[in-house]
Amino acid sequence: MGIKKIVAVGMAFISLLICVSGCGSTQSGQKELPKKIVVGLDDAFAPMGFRDPNTNEIVGFDIDMAKEFAKRAGMEVEFKPIDWDSKEAELKSGHIDILWNGLTIMENRADKISFSDPYLTDSQMIVVRNDSPIQSKADLNGKVLGTQQASTGDFMYEKEENKKTIKEMKTYPDFTNAFSDLELGRVDALIVDEINAAYIMKQKPGSFRMVDTIFDKDVIGVGLRKDDEALRNKINSILADMKKDGTVDKLAEKWFGTTEMVVK
């Protein structure tokens, strides 16, 4: 997939976004590190953060990442499911402390929240039923698409030059409902994160397939309030250690079966 090359090309722009979103604080104005962090997440976003169907426990790659961060930082951690469409408001209100749930670092979010350094890459993919005649992005003309409301796919679709040729875009509270409608034929295709799509396809072999990348590669980081500079610095420091000592690779192998998407 050439991920390392793609990430290298886009990293300068991502670094600028990260700085714009979080470089305005001064050392003298930093808050003290909290003793406990509340992580906001969509608990139906497998394999990043979701409910184990057998135990109802919240599990996933980002759950393990956040737990490991909290352990190394000497903090307690609580996971709080939220309406993903209201994530910025939840963060601003103080109901949660961070967003750690497959959050894409995006320009349109940088004025509202601060980002950590990126730790994963991802793509927005077109996913269809296995028996669909759709073979590429060009085949979406006149079709009904679906995606999660306020997701990366939702935002990127608004910038898509060819959206006027698409019949309708349906949005869902989570991708669980979106995939259900795709399976039932209520939508022709989904715009979904590759990581999420690959996991769902593994759970339901033969039901779906990915046909095309609809947008450029994006990168994933942790979202924070803009004035939480000390916490942001702590997250970046521990993330760097976790990359260096192989922890991120180990968790990626556990949840994705590959380390290809890990930002080194």
> What pLDDT is recorded for position 98?
98
| Alpha carbons within 13 A on the beta-carbon side of 262 | 23
For residues 131 and 241, membership in a common domain is answered with no
Is residue 108 located within the same domain as residue 237? yes
Contact 215, 96 (CB under 8 A): no
Last residue of a domain, one of 211, 229, 248: 211
Phi-psi region of 102 (alpha: psi -120 to 50; beta: other; left: phi over 0): left
Tokens of residue 60, six digits:
């996933």
Q: Residues 103, 78: one domain?
A: yes
Instruction: For residue 34, give the DSSP letter.
Output: P
Domain count, the chain: 2
pLDDT value of residue 9:
44
The H or E element that residue 263 is part of is none
**What pLDDT does 13 receive?**
45
Q: What is the pLDDT of residue 118?
A: 97
In Å, how far from its chain's centre is CA 120?
9
**DSSP code per residue over 64-109:** HHHHHHHHHHT-EEEEEE--GGGHHHHHHHTS-SEEEEEEE--GGG
**Blockwise average pLDDT, block size 10, the chain, 264 residues:** 44 48 48 94 96 97 99 98 95 97 86 95 94 94 92 75 79 94 97 93 94 83 96 98 98 95 94
Residues 87 and 130 in one domain: no
Q: Does the CA dihedral 223-227-230-231 come out positive or negative?
A: negative
- Closest by Cα among 119, 127, 35 to 77: 35
Question: Per the structure block, which two tokens stand in for 176?
Answer: 């669980």
Confidence (pLDDT) at 162: 57
Considering the domain architecture, whether residues 55 and 161 belong to the same structural domain is answered as: no
Q: Flag whether 131 is in a domain.
A: yes
**Is residue 131 a contact partner of residue 16, using CB atoms and an 8 Å limit?**
no
Alpha carbon distance 127, 260 (integer Å): 20
Task: Indicate whether 115 and 61 sit together in one domain.
Answer: yes
Q: Is the peptide bond before 47 cis (omega within 30 degrees of 0)?
A: yes
Identify the residue whose tokens are 């869902």: 172
pTM over 0.85: no
Q: Do 89 and 196 share a domain, yes or no?
A: no
Domain range for 102: 36-122+219-256
Asked if the structure places residue 47 within a domain, the reply is yes
Asked if residues 190 and 182 have their Cβ atoms less than 8 Å apart, the reply is: yes
226 in the same domain as 116: yes
**What pLDDT, on a 0 to 100 scale, did the predictor assign at position 159?**
65
Same domain, 135 and 198: yes
Domain annotation covers residue 50: yes
Q: What counts of helices (H) and strands (E) characterise the chain?
A: 8, 14
Task: Give residue 213's pLDDT.
Answer: 83
113 and 240 share one domain? yes
CATH code for position 127: 3.40.190.10
